Structure 1
Amino acid sequence: MEEIIKKVNFYARLSKERDLSASEKEDRDIFRKLYLENFKKQVRGHLDNIEIVDKKEDVKIN
């Protein structure tokens, strides 16, 4: 994930300096997609591990 973030940031900086070539745009889009997929997996993993406890009735919802 760290390497993907570096690439996303690299292409973001590069695009501010100059126009990206077609292949650079393709690479940028690939790394953005990989980043979002990994991010969604991490969020889903966190949400799946959340345990809600109702303190009033001491009922666990999962």
Structure 2
Amino acid sequence: MKYPLYALALFFTLTGCAELKDAGRTIGHATRDTTTAIGHASRDAVNSVKEDLSSEDDTKD
């Protein structure tokens, strides 16, 4: 009687671990994508400001 209960407990533990692993992967990929988007937006903003400043310097001369 004990062995089927142990097997059942092991089954639920393993399936629970698989679901947690999948949730962690989903959260990790979403975090990576968000961080990449923020980084690219920051880079583009800096380049835009740099271009604006250099064009202002050209018009002053």
Give me the TM-score of the superposition, normalised by structure 2. Answer: 0.54
Match of 2:48 in 1: none
**Greater helix content:** 2
1:29 corresponds to 2:13: no
The sequence identity of aligned pairs, in percent, is 8
Aligned equivalent of 1:17? none
Structure 1 unaligned residues grouped into runs of 5+ = 1-19
Moved beyond 2 Å, runs of 4+: none
Greater RCO structure (CA 8 Å; 6+ sep): 1
CA distance in structure 2 between the aligned counterparts of 1:47 and 1:22, rounded to whole angstroms: 37
